[in-house]
Amino acid sequence: MTTVQGHCDPAFARVREVFEENFAEGRELGAAVAVYAGDRKVVDLWGGVADRRTGREWLPDTPCFGFSCTKAVTAAAALLLAERGLYDLDGPVTDWWPEFGAAGKEGTTAEHLLTHQAGLPAFARPVSAEEAADPVALADELAAQEPEWTPGETHGYHALTYGWLAGEIVRRHSGRTVGAFVRDEFAAGLDLWVGAPDDVIERAAKLSAARRVQGGADSAGTADSAETAGSARTADSPRVLASDLLNRLVAAYTDPQSTMNRSTGNPHPGKGGYNNPVVLRAGWPSAGMLATAPALAGFYRDLVAGRILRPETLREAIRPRVAGPDRTMLIDSSFGLGFMRPAQTFFTPKAGRDSAFGHTGAGGSIGLGDPDAGLAFAYLPNMMSDMAAGDLRAYRLLDAAYASVS
C-alpha cells in the first residue's frame, strides 16, 4: 500500500483523505498535490513511484511534466511584457513581427495569439522533436502558414502551436526564450523549468500510459487529446456526457486527420513520448514544463498576490475573451489571455466558477489560482488519465481544497 508523505494542515485534512483514496483505489502510480491559502502552504503531499520501470520512489523534490499547464506560465511571461508597455495586446502582430502578415493573417492581434483565435491550431507538415527545439524556425513556419480560419472569427485550442506563437511575443520583446525569461523574471526561487537541465531531467518522474483506447495513441506520447475527452465527461457535474458528444470526441481522438489530433500530436515528441530528454531540454512553451507541485502552486500564489503581474493586469488577463464550442476540442472552452476559465475543459467546483483561472494538462495535471478564495492549487501525476473512463482525480482534490477554505 502506498504511503502518502508530506504536510497537510488539519483544516485541509479532506485533501489528504482524497489523495490517499486515489492511491488506495489504484488511480495513481505517483503524484503530488500542493495548496496555498494566501501565502501559507497548507498542503504539500506526495507519494507513490516516480519511475515504474526502476521502482524509484517519488520524493518531495521530484519534478513532473506538466503538459499544457505550461501555457499559463508562458502567458504570464507574455503579459508581463505587455504590462511593461513593450507591445499592444490589441495592436497588429505585424507591428513587431512583420512576417506574420503572410497568407491573410495581417489582422491578427496579440490577443488572438493568446486566446487560441489565430487560426493556426496545427502545423501544416509533420515536425520532429529535434526540429521543435528551435523556436525561431517554428515561429517562422507558423508566420508563413495559411490560417485554417480568419484570425479572430472563432477559437480552437492551439494545443502545441500556441507555445511558438505566444512564445514569440516573449522572444521578440525580451530577446530570451520563454524558459530563460521565466527563470530570470519570476521563477528563480521555484522548482519550475520550461526547458530543464540534465540533472533535473534525471530526477524527474517518468510518465506512464494508462489503458489504450481502441485505435488511439499511447497517452504518454500525446499532448492533450486524451485529457480533453476524459475531462469532458465531467463537464457540468461528475456525470457522463451525452453519448453523441462522447462518440464524436472518441471519433476525433482516433481520426489522425481531425483538428484535435493534428493539434495535439504534431510536433511528435519522438521516442519515449514526453519522457524524451530532447523535449524536456527544449522546453516547448506550450507543453514543456517540469515542476514540483509546490512550485506550480507557488506560481499561482505569486500571481494571485500580485508579485508577477499587477492585480489590474491579472484581472484583465482572466476576463473571459472567448467561450463556447471549441473548433479543436469540440466541447465548450473558455479562455482569458492565455488562462483557462471554468468550462467543460476546465472543470471546477461551484465555489470556483466565478474567479478560478489556470490551465489543465494532459494526463490529469492542473494548476489553478483563485483571487476571491485566496487559493492556489497544483496537482501533478505521472500516470496518464484513461480517456474512456474519465478522470476525476484532480477535480476531487480541488473540490476538497475549496471545501476546506469555505
Q: How far is CA 241 from CA 155, 230, 235, 236, 392, in A?
A: 22, 10, 7, 9, 14
Residue 220: pLDDT band with limits 50, 70, 90: very low
Q: What is the pLDDT of residue 227?
A: 41
- Report yes or no: 292 and 63 within 8 Å, Cβ to Cβ: yes
Question: What would the pLDDT profile of 380-389 be if each residue is shown by its tens digit?
Answer: 999 998 654 5
Question: What would the pLDDT profile of 146-176 be if each residue is shown by its tens digit?
Answer: 999 999 999 999 999 999 999 999 999 999 9
As a whole number, mean pLDDT of residues 327-339 equals 96
Residue 224: pLDDT over 60? no
Q: What is the pLDDT of residue 270?
A: 96
> CA-CA distance, 357 to 222, in Å (whole number)?
24
Question: What would the pLDDT profile of 10-39 be if each residue is shown by its tens digit?
Answer: 999 999 999 999 999 999 999 999 999 999
- Report yes or no: 45 and 33 within 8 Å, Cβ to Cβ: yes
Q: What is the pLDDT of residue 215?
A: 34
Phi, psi for 156 (deg, rounded to 5):
-155, 130
Q: What is the pLDDT of residue 2?
A: 86
As a whole number, mean pLDDT of residues 78-85 equals 98
> CA-CA distance, 290 to 331, in Å (whole number)?
28
Q: Which three cell numbers stand for residue 56?
A: 524509484
- Report yes or no: 394 and 69 within 8 Å, Cβ to Cβ: no
Question: What would the pLDDT profile of 226-279 be if each residue is shown by its tens digit?
Answer: 344 334 433 334 444 566 777 788 888 888 899 999 999 999 999 999 999 999
- Across the chain, what does the average pLDDT equal? 91
Residue 390: pLDDT band with limits 50, 70, 90: low
- Report yes or no: 68 and 361 within 8 Å, Cβ to Cβ: yes
Q: Which three cell numbers stand for residue 335?
A: 479562455
> CA-CA distance, 393 to 344, in Å (whole number)?
16
Residue 195: pLDDT band with limits 50, 70, 90: very high
As a whole number, mean pLDDT of residues 198-213 equals 85
> CA-CA distance, 109 to 107, in Å (whole number)?
6
Question: What would the pLDDT profile of 339-352 be if each residue is shown by its tens digit?
Answer: 999 999 999 999 88
Considering 37-51, 212-226, 255-269, the range whose residues carry the highest mean pLDDT is 37-51
The pLDDT > 90 percentage for the chain reads 84
- Report yes or no: 66 and 290 within 8 Å, Cβ to Cβ: yes
**Where does 115-193 have alpha helices with state H?**
135-144, 161-174, 178-185
Of 301, 319, 308, 357, the closest CA to residue 84 belongs to 308
Residue 221: pLDDT over 60? no
Angle at 194 between CA 227 and CA 321, to 5 degrees: 55
> CA-CA distance, 35 to 93, in Å (whole number)?
37
Beta-carbon count within 10 A of 86 CB: 14
Residue 41: pLDDT over 70? yes
> CA-CA distance, 404 to 362, in Å (whole number)?
26
Element of type H or E holding 2: none
The pTM assigned to this predicted structure is 0.92
Q: What is the pLDDT of residue 242?
A: 60
Residue 329: pLDDT band with limits 50, 70, 90: very high
Question: What would the pLDDT profile of 348-373 be if each residue is shown by its tens digit?
Answer: 999 889 999 999 999 899 999 999 99
**Residue 197 buriedness (CB in 10 A; 0-12 / 13-18 / 19+):** exposed
Q: What is the pLDDT of residue 244?
A: 73
